[in-house]
Amino acid sequence: MEALLTPVQFLKGVGPQRAEVLEKLGLHTAVDLLFFFPRRYEDYSQLATIDELAEDRLASVEGLVEEVDQRESGKHVTYVLLKQEATGRPQFLRAIWFNQPFMFRRFQSGQRVVLQGKPKLSGMRWEMIHPKVTFLGTEDRPTQGQILPVYRLVEGVNQFQIRKLVSGVVENYTELVEEVFPESFLQAHQLSEIHQAIRSVHGPTSQDELQQARLRLVYQELLVLQLALAMRRFRVRDQGNAIALPIDARIRARILRRFPFEFTESQLVAADEIANDLSQRVPMSRLLHGDVGAGKTAVAVFAMLLAVAHGHQAIIMSPTEILARQHARTITNLLKSSRVKTAMWTGSMSKSQRNDVQTRLADGAIDILIGTQAIVQTELNFKSLALVIIDEQHKFGVAQRAKLRQQALDPHYLVMTATPIPRTIAMTAFGDLDVTTLRYDTNRRSEIHTYQGEESSREKWWEFYRKKLREGRQGYVIAPLVDGGNRSLFDGKKGYASAEELFESLVNGPLADFRVDIVHGRQTPEEKDAALQAFARGHTQVLVATTVVEVGIDVPNATLMTIESAERFGISQLHQLRGRVGRGELPGYVCVFADLENEYTQRRIDAFIQSNDGFELAERDLELRGPGNLFSTQQHGMPPMRIADLVRDFKLLERTRSDARRMIDDDPNLDGADYEALKKMVLRRYGRSLELSDVG
């Protein structure tokens, strides 16, 4: 087993210099290379000569790029002519891409490539529309029937070299890998044994063999994760001890009367699910996620008032001070005629303010504390903390939540996000939580129109924008950065505009006749609050902003939004920004300007424009972007997936979740002899990030 930990520099053909390059890929030892899985495969089992092509039958054709051309005739067209001499005489295949100008820049005459697609005859010549392209190096000449692995690369190592290195490690080290499943388990779940799976995933001889190998490795990776989440879930439920907060019809009606509006059906369902959890001695661990404008804050206030009704305290934490202050205003307005006492706790408070709040918390004179993560960075003493609500959950880690445990009692936890969570993410990153989904009532939201702006139509958009402002409406202009952009608003150059550049361009240009202000993350809390309050009261007509207005800002009269450099935002972020308009009775209008640098950017912008449904967009975003390093980007501190694809492998994810929960229900600590190796793997991979050390 120690041989698996052999440093890569001592492997054949590596050495110290190449070892430094491999470390950039996270490859430090022999075992790292064994589990460095291909990101895709080049399947040459369908490799064909041009005279073997048949219409609409998938084929791969290898050849040299003879010509590259592009034309503009209403839409951009890229043409590539591929030359092949496999039969002793030159034959040609034409590849065509529409509205993808970046494809023209990828090709050069003389390149060796493989085009894969379904050919069609056009006159006397074969054509492929939008074929898949593989660019071949000098050592990458495929042969009929091969399925070649394609690995992630960094500068200093090419595909041929990494294939050769991995192949050698597979040959010499695979048998040293420990099998974590007993034979009976493999048979019952129809899985390959680990050694065969490793060999086949790196060097498959057929698609069937590859799929069987991948099934085994993906199942193992997802099961290990789901076991860790199931263990943590069991631990919270089995060992936790919370304050029970029962609800009856009288308390429920009294709380709902505090709101100046009726809850939607979705809000009522969410409130009842949460209330049911709060009535138990088992600490609630629930995720509340909803679309823009669905009313999460109101549901959160409902839960906090249930705690207060029983004489206990509640916290609501936000990732930024600007959002905490927004929550404070909302909650204070809702409770202004009640006896419920609220207070703020943020990093910008003075020492005397902190001392005052600390004293009142300990005495029970404060019922609801509203603040930022500064709450968990200070040792606060509560008289009786029963409920903790964390807004934008991905900003807070497991360890931070643990700090709020009071004496022998665990508070109930409700974690919220304004970004709808795709099902796969809910079952992984939030797999230890129960999930409540909140959808907005379409009858209560105004229609929002979204457009993709072109440089040629920019002035027409500002003309419309000014017209709406003169009618009494307000609007936002969004930029990706505070400063440091590299273009002005109208110079037509590629790059991105900053908020400060936009502000200057607008007040001296298209919005010179209107009251324009700016808000961004580098301002003091007081400056940000003043800018937002002026906008909310209508003193300012246009607010130039960064993503500080992404969540929590509610100005019903704001119906206009311009988003600059939209390619620098994700789909969910664009949708959150769009959610700032159309919050009143009037329709909203959003125009995005983007540098369409590649196909991915165009598809992302298209998806955003075509749908106003946050849940649909979240799933689409996951499909386009992939889960990536899912956990670290959400600050869960958990390692990324090595081979599982949470979109493609959704059914397998559901299966492993069910298997894991059944296994933990039967054996909470996996103490059975058959699972000794599996338990070690679970703890080694997720023990620290999910605080499972007590299991070992």
Euclidean distance between CA atoms 420 and 397, whole angstroms: 19
Adjacency order of strands within the sheet including 474-478: 448-453, 588-593, 558-563, 474-478, 542-545, 516-519
Euclidean distance between CA atoms 435 and 438, whole angstroms: 10
Euclidean distance between CA atoms 189 and 182, whole angstroms: 11
Please, what is the average pLDDT of the chain? 87
Q: Tell me: the pLDDT tens digits for 505-517? A: 999 999 999 999 9
* HSE-CB for 309 with a 13 A CA cutoff: 22
Q: Judge whether residue 629 has pLDDT over 60.
A: no
Q: Judge whether residue 445 has pLDDT over 80.
A: no
The end-to-end CA distance of the chain, in Å, is: 21
Report the pLDDT averaged over residues 676-692: 87
Q: Judge whether residue 300 has pLDDT over 90.
A: yes
Report the pLDDT averaged over residues 60-84: 88
Query: How confident is the model at residue 145, as a pLDDT?
Result: 59
- Per-domain residue ranges of the chain: 1-42+155-177, 46-144, 293-417, 446-625
Q: Tell me: the pLDDT tens digits for 131-149? A: 988 887 666 666 655 788 9
The C-alpha angle 606, 608, 614, rounded to 5 degrees, equals: 145
Q: Where are the alpha helices (DSSP H) in 240-346?
A: 249-256, 265-278, 296-309, 321-334
The DSSP letter of residue 51 is G
Report the pLDDT averaged over residues 431-460: 84
Distances (CA, A) of 487 to 302, 460, 498, 565, 626: 47, 20, 8, 11, 31
Q: Tell me: the pLDDT tens digits for 566-621? A: 998 889 889 989 989 988 889 999 999 988 777 788 889 999 999 988 888 888 88
Query: How confident is the model at residue 323, as a pLDDT?
Result: 84
Euclidean distance between CA atoms 391 and 300, whole angstroms: 9
Q: Judge whether residue 443 has pLDDT over 80.
A: no
How many Cβ atoms from other residues are within 10 Å of residue 30's Cβ? 21
What confidence tier does 552 reach under pLDDT thresholds 50, 70, 90? low
Euclidean distance between CA atoms 59 and 115, whole angstroms: 8
Q: Tell me: the pLDDT tens digits for 27-52? A: 999 999 999 999 988 877 778 889 88
Q: Tell me: the pLDDT tens digits for 340-395? A: 999 999 888 888 999 999 999 999 999 999 998 888 777 788 999 999 999 875 54
CATH of domain 293-417: 3.40.50.300
Report the pLDDT averaged over residues 219-225: 95
Euclidean distance between CA atoms 296 and 287, whole angstroms: 11
Query: How confident is the model at residue 526, as a pLDDT?
Result: 85
Query: How confident is the model at residue 419, as a pLDDT?
Result: 78
Report the pLDDT averaged over residues 4-31: 92
Domains 1-42+155-177 and 46-144 share a fold: no
Q: Judge whether residue 179 has pLDDT over 90.
A: yes
Query: How confident is the model at residue 447, as a pLDDT?
Result: 87
> What topology does CATH give the domain 1-42+155-177?
DNA polymerase; domain 1 (1.10.150)
Q: Which of 196, 200, 222, 221 is nearest to 211 (CA)?
A: 200
The number of angstroms, rounded, from the C-alpha of 268 to the middle of its chain's C-alpha atoms is 28
Query: How confident is the model at residue 557, as a pLDDT?
Result: 95
Q: Tell me: the pLDDT tens digits for 616-627? A: 888 888 888 765
What confidence tier does 633 reach under pLDDT thresholds 50, 70, 90? very low
The number of angstroms, rounded, from the C-alpha of 185 to the middle of its chain's C-alpha atoms is 34
Euclidean distance between CA atoms 72 and 75, whole angstroms: 6
Q: Which of 25, 10, 1, 45 is nearest to 168 (CA)?
A: 10
89 backbone φψ class: left, alpha, beta (φ>0; ψ -120 to 50): beta
- The yes/no answer on whether domain 446-625 falls in CATH 2.60.40.1930 is no
Q: Judge whether residue 496 has pLDDT over 50.
A: yes
The DSSP letter of residue 669 is T
Q: Tell me: the pLDDT tens digits for 195-216? A: 999 999 999 988 899 999 999 9
Euclidean distance between CA atoms 639 and 435, whole angstroms: 23
Distances (CA, A) of 415 to 186, 264, 309, 395, 513: 38, 20, 21, 11, 44
3-state secondary structure of 64: strand
Euclidean distance between CA atoms 56 and 54, whole angstroms: 6
Distances (CA, A) of 598 to 40, 348, 611, 685: 20, 42, 21, 36
What confidence tier does 653 reach under pLDDT thresholds 50, 70, 90? very high
What confidence tier does 288 reach under pLDDT thresholds 50, 70, 90? very high
How many Cβ atoms from other residues are within 10 Å of residue 214's Cβ? 23
CATH of domain 46-144: 2.40.50.140
What confidence tier does 124 reach under pLDDT thresholds 50, 70, 90? confident
